Structure 1
Amino acid sequence: MAASNTSEAAETYDQLLTHYEDIVHLEQIDNVLFWDQQVMMPADGTPARSGQRSTISSLKHDLLTSDELGGLLAQLADASLTDEEQAVVREIDRQYARETQVPGSLQRELSQAISDSTPVWQTARENDDFESFAPMLEHIVEIRQQQAAEIDPDAEPFDVIFAEYEPYLSVETVESMLHELRDELVPLIDAIRESDVDPAAGVFEGTYKSDAQFALSEEVLDLVGVDWKRTKLDTSTHPFSFGNQFDVRMTTRFDEAIPVDGLTSTLHEFGHTDYTQGLPDDAYGTPLGEPRSHGIHESQSRFWENQVGRTEAFWELIQPLLVKHFPDLEGTSARELYAAANQVYDENYIRVESDELTYHMHILLRFEIERDLINGDLAVADVPSRWNELMEELLGITPPSDTVGCLQDIHWSLGRIGTFQNYSVGSVFAAQLQAALESELGDIEMLIENESFDEIHAWLTDAVHQHGQRYTTDELIEVATGEPFTATYFISDMKEKYSDIYDL
């Protein structure tokens, strides 16, 4: 029965928020446990941590599927609510509807499998031993298939899992976008490889100690405006950023032969941090205080990594910091640094170390493999060969090992199958956001040159962060930019930028 009057509806709505806040607290506790496992926990701590995270997952599932929550949602179904209250009810109801279809035992099984598989993946990656990880991946894939069948037995399993991370963009929309990127970018990549220009020639040769890179990252974060009172920076095997408006645990990683990668990784994770901390403080514990979706989150990380961190103005700005930490770069021009930071690699095996162009072929590869895995069209044992086949097809290279091939990403060991395409969604939307920002604030290179990072923060917060989950993804894109989701800006920017760098 719906709430019958305004006061009754208000009381019911408050009860809903109180209930949901406990769910958010449990999720945040699990995030801290995960951070600790990746950064601080002793190597042999997994058995206890697996049980701890499984218990948290079980408690969260119980709260999210409780009769009490279902009753509150039913009472509010036809109640007179504000637009923001309706959005809160919509988002909680969406989670409730999905979660109630999945038995708690299956959720606990997935949580246990994730905790167990992560250290196995780490060891397998170090030892180039896919066979040791394969049973873990098979188990996770089977659980995800069971979840999909419970939620919607009539839909393609991958479509169901996809909607967990991006509920308001269709698989068809994203697949079409990925194919558009392939069709437009592969010829550009080929032209670059045929070019005689080598923008990275000798620029970053040498060794760049990790501790110096870490210190550089800290200073760059100071420059772009990180809030250290709410942020902690560490290193991990695979960079990530978890947390909330008040407490973000951010990690990065460094390669002593390639200093660009550590810096862009740090900026990428800063983008996630900036989004999280831009969510309204007073909405913590509600959907209005949570990010819209994985794809929108990635738009913020890719914005700071690429729209800011790969511009010529940015490299000119940080040149003194680079020379401070790496004196051998004295005399290297900002233009040389910028061009080298945007080099398109002939042999580009690692997604998180790839350039803006080849990156999206890595994403398309993972999208096709994950879709086929979840839909039962690809066996886990065949993943390495299919991976190498697609790498050859899309990028013309074959990984020399599974360590730099199908074992490179942590996502599968975390059960996060069906997420990779959102990195491309994020990149495309970041370019669309840049166009909208420039129409109001002016050229982004000039903003960076003038160190107007507070203005950039404020614009992004106004356009994206402040809304939390008030809007669906397609609605938010239009609210932020004034037009529907489009790859036009991204493709145009890439052609202009790389034609300039490579004299095409």
Structure 2
Amino acid sequence: MTGETTTDPPAAYDALIDRYGRLTNLQYASMYLNWDQQVMMPEGGSPGRSRQLSAISATRHDLLVDDDVARWLDALEDASLTDRQAAAVREIRREHDRAANVPSELVEDIARTAAENQRIWQEAKADDDFETFAPRLERIRDLQRKQAEHIDPETPPYEVMYEESHPFLPIGTMEDIFETLRSEIPPLVEEIRASGTNLADPFDGEYPDADQRALSEAALDYLGYDRSRGRLDTAPHPFMAGNQFDARVTTRFKPTDPMDALTATIHELGHATYQLGLPKDEYGSPLGNSRMSIHESQSRFWENHVGRTEPFWEGFLPELTDHLEGHDDLTVREAFEAANRIRPENRIRVEADELTYHMHIILRCEIDRAFVEGDLAVEEIPAVWNEKMDDYLGVRPDTDAEGCLQDIHWTSRFACFQSYTLGSVVAAQLDAAVRDDLDVDGLVREGEFEPIHDWMTEHVHRHGQRYETPELIERATGEPLTADYFVEYAREKFERLYDL
């Protein structure tokens, strides 16, 4: 790259990157075992899988914190490195330092407990039985607190956990964003409620899983998903797993709402575009890894700024009418409205509309933090959850399965829900930037998505972890992180849709 030296890297750098490559392979092996557990592992496989994942976590931890890594990092402290090499060392140093004081036995215990928790959570959710899951939730919280105290005893455990998912992005910045959305979203939702405007709701009856799957497959192909490096499956909670060579997406089907599976599929496609856009020649280096705090911007961009737009439905509507019976007369406008209906009564986060979604996130973060910090007992969670749903959305869950048991995240981690709202904020900022360079609506209308993929790869994906999160956002958009673009986008879009 221009301005960088081309001298050979120090031997310590080569050794460090070689070691990190081994760590990367173990990380992805664990990821695909987790994918298998959620997608296709037989029910009886859970005890063995928990031990396998635990062993991989412990082995990876031991390789990360051993004396060789510490020695190589120290040798590179004042070495002459290119900017890219220095960025890779910075990321490995951060990961090493966070892990160095954590006992291997604790890492193994956390991984085993998280794997066991997945099965118990699935059963508890199916049975609407929070009491069965509650002790497991307490256990993973206590283990994660211990780990946080080993990492940084001077910082509150919740903030240490937050920094794991959001390195370099201060928690105060996130709190400022949340405060902005708390003040902006509820009044807009109330205006929509008071307007009396009803958007189209053309889907009634039930739609076979096979038809919904065919529609999701068609959407992936339409949007340019590389089938040679991915696949579509179903899971209890939609997710993406993968790297730049193999990025798999999952969805789930709700019999009465085919739009739910479609938007979930497009959302996970967005995650996959990020992984598949990472530089192949940097696999095994931090420069070939994604930023967790950026990931959700990609999924929210493709779901909301592409898949929920009127130009998208101008091109994609024939696919829907081909795959779902009874909608030959559906118009572009009706499909567009159906994709953007505001439904404050919805109790499920992953099915929530684009606005009220963020109140789901905020209430989770508040409960998440209070529980980790010891201000909320585990047995109080269902009641507090329901009260916050009532306060923020005017609705109360009928069951814990559609309340505090609905998300998989608490099987393994805390302080991660912030990523979803951050992703929407960054997505709106990226959307404004890409529209400065491309006729996005025209491209989407014509089904020409390659230029949009290329723009995201050029400005976001190809950098991997070279830049810290705030710098990556500023380089991609030309401005520091701000919630202003999201607020402006949301108000303009929904004022027009609901004729406010």
For the superposition of Structure 1 and Structure 2, which TM-score range results when normalised by the shorter chain? over 0.9
**Alignment partners' CA distance in 2, 1:221 and 1:314:** 13
What is the CA–CA distance in structure 2 between the aligned matches of 1:8 and 1:258, rounded to whole Å? 57
User: In 1, are the aligned partners of 2:144 and 2:413 still within 8 Å (CA)?
Assistant: no
Residue 126 (structure 1) shift: 0.6
Offset at residue 346 of structure 1 (A): 3.5
* Distance in 1, Cα, partners of 2:325 & 2:371: 48
Q: Is the 8 A contact 1:200 1:340 kept in 2?
A: yes
Distance 1:325 1:232 in 2: 19
2:494 to 495, 498, 502: 498
- Cα deviation digits, residues 400-427 of structure 1 (max 9, x gap): 11000000000111x1211101100000
Alpha carbons 1:372, 1:378 under 8 Å: kept:
yes
State the match for 2:3 in structure 1: none
Shift of 1:445: 1.8
Matched ranges for 1:26-425 at <5 A: 26-201=26-201, 203-292=202-291, 294-413=292-411, 415-425=412-422
For residue 327 of structure 1, report the CA deviation from its aligned partner.
2.9
Task: Give the unaligned 5+ runs of structure 1.
Answer: 1-5
State whether residues 344 and 356 of structure 2, in contact with CA within 8 Å, keep that contact through their aligned partners in structure 1.
Answer: no
SS of corresponding position for 1:45: helix
Shift of 1:254: 1.1
Local SS of the residue matching 2:403? coil
Give the C-alpha shift of residue 196 in structure 1.
1.5
Contact residue 323 and residue 329 of structure 1 kept, 8 A: yes
**Counterpart of 2:437?**
440
Instruction: Give how far 1:7 is off.
Output: 7.6
Q: Which moved more, 1:431-440 or 1:445-454?
A: 445-454
1:205 to partner: Cα distance: 1.3
- The 8 Å contact of residues 149 and 157 in structure 2, kept in 1 or not, is answered as yes
- Mapped to 2, the partners of 1:467 and 1:8 lie a distance apart of 21
Structure 1, residues 427-454: CA drift from partner, whole Å, max 9, x if none? 0000000100001113x22220122200
1:251 is paired with a residue whose SS is strand
Partner AA of 2:126 in structure 1: E
* Maintained 8 Å contact 2:313/2:335: yes
Deviation by residue 1:302-323 (Cα, 9 ceiling, x = unmatched): 1111010110111121110111
- Contact 1:9–1:76 (CA under 8 A) maintained in structure 2: no
Contact 2:26–2:60 (CA under 8 A) maintained in structure 1: yes
Q: How far, CA to CA, are the matches of 1:237 and 1:327 in structure 2?
A: 25
Paired residue type of 1:387:
W
CA distance, structure 2, for counterparts of residue 193 and residue 340 of structure 1: 16
Aligned length: 495
The amino acid of 1:470's aligned partner reads R
Q: Which amino acid aligns with 2:47?
A: P
Question: Are the counterparts in 1 of residues 240 and 247 from structure 2 also a CA contact under 8 Å?
Answer: yes
CA-CA distance at 1:35 after TM superposition: 0.8
List alignment gaps of at least 5 residues for structure 2: 1-5
The 8 Å contact of residues 270 and 303 in structure 2, kept in 1 or not, is answered as yes
RMSD of aligned Cα (Å): 1.1
Q: Would you say the 8 A contact 1:208–1:259 is kept in 2?
A: yes
Kindly indicate whether the alpha-carbon contact (under 8 Å) linking 2:140 and 2:413 is maintained by their aligned counterparts in 1. Answer: no
TM-score by length of 2: 0.97
**For the structure 1 residues 89 and 296, does the alpha-carbon distance in structure 2 shift closer, same or farther, using more than 3 Å as the test?**
same
TM-superposed CA distance for 1:8, in Å, is 8.4
One-letter amino acid of the counterpart of residue 446, structure 1 = G
Identity %: 49
Q: Deviations over 1:239-276 (max 9, x none)?
A: 11111111122211110101111001000100010000
Spell out the pairing of 1:472-483 with structure 2 (5 A cutoff): 472-483=468-479
Amino acid at match of 1:486: T
208-217 vs 466-475, which moves further: 208-217
Residues 201-227 of structure 1 deviation map (CA, whole Å, 9 limit, x = unaligned): 4x1112111111111111111111001
In 1, are the aligned partners of 2:312 and 2:447 still within 8 Å (CA)?
Answer: no
